[in-house]
Amino acid sequence: MQIDPNTDIIGLIDVQPTFMSGGELPVAGGADVIPVINHLLTRFGHAFATQDWHPPGHSSFASAHPGRQPYDTIDMPYGSQVLWPDHAIAGSAHAAIHPAIDQTRIQAIVRKGFRPGLDSYSAFFENDRTTPTGLEAWLRQRGFSRIVLCGLATDFCVAWSAEDAVRLGFSVIVVQDACRGIGLPTPDGRTTIDIARDRLTALGVRFADSSAI
C-alpha cells in the first residue's frame, strides 16, 4: 500500500491501559499492538485517536444491573448490549491513551461513551447508530478519504468503526497485526472476531499486515 499524505490517515482505536494486562477489561495481547502502531505512525503524516471515556456507573457496566454478570447481554433502548466490567473511567490513568504511544502525529482525539445511558463502540456514532461523534465532519473537512485502523478491540470498537467508516463512503483498511480482539464465543461455535471479519469483508473493508503499508 502506497500512503498518500494528503488523503490517508491512521486511526488509533482505544489504545488505552484499561484494555491491556493489568487493566479492567484486558484484551489478550493488547499491549503487543503498541510497537506495531508506533512503527506505523512513522509512516503517516496524520493520525486521530479514540478513547473510551465512561462516567462511573455507566449503563454498559454489569455492576449497574443487579444480578447481571460481565459479558451478559441485555436489551437496551438502542438495541442489544454486552455488559462489561467497569472500565475506562473518565479521567483515570487507565482511560488515557497509553503513555508508550507516540502521540506527536495525533491531531484529533475523540472521546466516546461519556453519555451515561448510551454505550459507544464506533469512532463515528454512539451505539444508537445515529448520535454522531463529529469525526466524520473533521475528516471530510481535512480532505481525508482513506482510513487505516488499528487498536482495540478487533471485534468491537475497531470493527464498528470500520463498518461505519465504509458506510459513510471512506475507504478502510484494518491492520491485522496492529489489532487484538476479545473473541467472545458465539452460538454457532465461532467467535465475535470471526463474525466481525466476515461482516467487514462483505462490506469491502480490506485487511492487511503492517509490513504491507
Q: Tell me if residue 179 is catalytic.
A: no
> What 3-state DSSP class applies to 145?
coil
Distance, in Å, from the CA atom of 196 to the CA atom of 35, rounded to the nearest integer, reads: 24
Q: Tell me if residue 14 is catalytic.
A: yes
Distances (CA, A) of 35 to 3, 19, 142, 210: 20, 16, 27, 11
**Helices 159-167 + 192-203 axis angle, to 10:** 20
Return the bridge partners of 10, or none. Answer: 47, 148
- Point out the catalytic residue in the list 112, 119, 155, 179: 112
Cβ-Cβ contacts under 8 Å for 59 (sequence gap 6 or more): 76, 81, 116, 117, 118, 119
- Point out the catalytic residue in the list 52, 86, 150, 157: 157
Let me know if 196 is exposed, middle or buried by CB neighbors in 10 A (0-12, 13-18, 19+). Answer: buried
> What 3-state DSSP class applies to 113?
coil
What is the separation of C-alpha 200 from the centre of its chain, rounded to a whole number of angstroms?
14
Cα–Cα nearest to 30, from 81, 98, 82: 98
- Point out the catalytic residue in the list 14, 52, 119, 164: 14
Q: Are the CB atoms for 145 and 133 separated by under 8 Å?
A: no
Q: Tell me if residue 157 is catalytic.
A: yes
Return the bridge partners of 49, or none. Answer: 12, 109
Q: Which residues are catalytic?
A: 14, 112, 157
